[in-house]
Every structure is written in C-alpha cells, then in structure tokens.
Amino acid sequence: MRRRRRLMFISQVMFLILVLETILIPKVRINTQKPWAFLAVLFIIEIVFLMTALKKNKVGTGLYDIMIFIVGILILWETMVSILDKGNPVLIPSPENVCMTFVTQWRVMLLNVAYSMELLGIGLTVGLVTSVILGIVCGWYPRLKAFAYPIANVMAPIPAVVISPYLVHLMPSFRSASALVVIIGVFWPSLLGTINRIGGMDSQLLDSARMLKLSDGQMMVRVLLPYIIPGVLGGLKVTMTTSMLMLNFAELMGATHGMGYYIQNSITYANYTHAVAGIIMIGLVVTVLNKIISLIQKKLIYW
C-alpha cells in the first residue's frame, strides 16, 4: 500500500510538472502550435489512469510504473523539442503539433482506420476459419497430417510480406492483394498450431469419444472443434497483432487508403508530424482491439 501511494504521488507530481511547463514556459521552436490539444490529451491520459487506479484490488504497481514512464517521456519530449528546440524541426515534431494533427486530420485518420479494419477483419476471419477447419481435418487423418504438417512447418515462419510483389501481380487490385497478404500470414501459423493441438490431445479423451461410436464428422465437430476453440481464442491477441503488422506493410504496396498508406504518404511528403500521429493512432487501435479480445476471452473461455 505504501509503495502504491509513493508511486501515485510521484506520478501526480510529474504530471503537474508537465502541465505547468506546457502552459507557463515559453516555446523556443517557432512553429509550435497552441497547447490546448496537447493538454486535452494529457488530461484524458490522467483520467484513464485515475479511473483504473481506483480498482485497487485488480491493479498492481505496474500501472503506476507505466504512467510514470509515459509522463517522463512526454516531459523529455516537451522540454527538448518545444522548449529547447533540440533536434531537426522536420524529423522531430513537437508534441503540441502531433496532438493538433488529431484535431485537424481526424476525418482522414478515421477513414484510413476504417479501411484498415475492414481488410484486417476479412484477412483475420478468412485466415483463421480456413486454417482451423483444415487443421482439424489434417490433424485427424494421419495421411493428410503427413502431407500438410511439413509444408505448414516450412511456410509458417516465412513472412507473407516477402511474396507481396507476386500477389500484386496475380491479384486484380492492390486491395485484394493486401487482404491476401493478411490471409496467408494468418493461415500457415494457425494451421500449424491447430495440427499440433490435435496431435497433443489426451489419448484418454479420444478413446472415450471413440467409445460413443462417433463418425469422423461427428468427432471433428463435437470433440475436436470444442477442444481447439479455446486455444485459438487464447492466441487471438498475438494473431491480431501479427496481422496488423502485416496489413500495415501490405498497405505500402500501392494502396490509396489505410493507416500504413497514411504514414507512408506523410513520410513521402516529409510531413513527419502526421507520420508520428499515424504511428500513435496504430498503437491506440491495437490497444483497443486487445481490450476487445480480452473481453471476448473472458466471456467465452472464462475457465
């Protein structure tokens, strides 16, 4: 308890220092915008932190360490860039300008996020569903396993992005090529994992199921599929994060929308303020998706 109070005190003092230096200390960098957007972001972070910290029984000291780390980075960023004007003014934008980007570019950013989420949803759903179905079938039949497992074992570690030039040539559009990159990137690791989970099933469980004289189809639907689903859902965070990474790479191949395109287009025109804001937006989107997945896991695999 004392440690939490000490960390809370440190985090709040640092937060106050950041707010005061943002408001009171004159900015040396001449293109620094007004700080109201930056202050709004700071108070949103503070409110989320305090609301989470109130859950004393569920929150450890890690939350306070994260808050101290974030505020410390922001103090350093504000001091070195906006106040002391250190670093290249093009490559290293001030935090005020980055936060203002969310105000001036929110429609464009939301459009690109929606585009990316659509491709991510298509790629993740198709890749997972097909890999689980084929993985169950291949894991159940020894001959199919002997054929599919070595291929999946070779293909799973290969990033789908490396074959993206061929996909662009084969597919009718950049959009379909980007979706296929995600599908392939999800399919092979998930197929390999599904086959391994089937192979690692308890033999007593299978023997008990065989005593019921179930057909192969019934065995796969009633026994293997329920056994596999918790593992698939349990690894969904890693799968989603990997898919998001591949999608951002895929959107660099010639897409006209998406967060990867937004960042690359900003860098192309040397607008690093927008590029940094786009990187932060991707981090926020992944955080929200992880939270949603955690809620789904608690509901469906609560044991």
- pLDDT tens digits for range 225-250: 888 888 888 888 888 888 888 888 87
* Tens-place pLDDT, residues 62-111: 889 999 999 999 999 999 999 999 988 888 999 999 999 999 999 999 99
- Residue closest to 265 by CA, chosen among 35, 120, 111: 111
DSSP letter (8 states) at residue 252: G
* Tens-place pLDDT, residues 151-208: 999 998 888 878 877 887 888 887 888 888 889 989 999 999 999 888 888 777 777 7
What contacts 204, CB < 8 A, 6 or more positions away?
none
The answer to whether residues 32 and 82 touch, using CB atoms and an 8 Å cutoff, is: yes
What contacts 183, CB < 8 A, 6 or more positions away?
122, 123, 126, 127, 130
Is 70 exceeded by the pLDDT of residue 303? no
> What is the per-residue pLDDT for 55?
75
> What is the per-residue pLDDT for 293?
86
3.40.190.10, 3.90.660.20, 1.10.3720.10, 3.30.565.10: which CATH number matches 106-300?
Answer: 1.10.3720.10
Model confidence, pTM: 0.84
| Residue 284: other Cβ atoms inside 10 A | 12
Domain ranges of the chain: 2-103, 106-300
* Tens-place pLDDT, residues 284-300: 998 898 888 888 878 77
Query: In whole angstroms, what is the distance from residue 252 CA to residue 254 CA?
Result: 6
> What is the per-residue pLDDT for 56?
61
- Residue closest to 134 by CA, chosen among 188, 183, 185: 188
Question: Crossing angle, helix 259-268 and helix 236-250, to 10 degrees?
Answer: 40
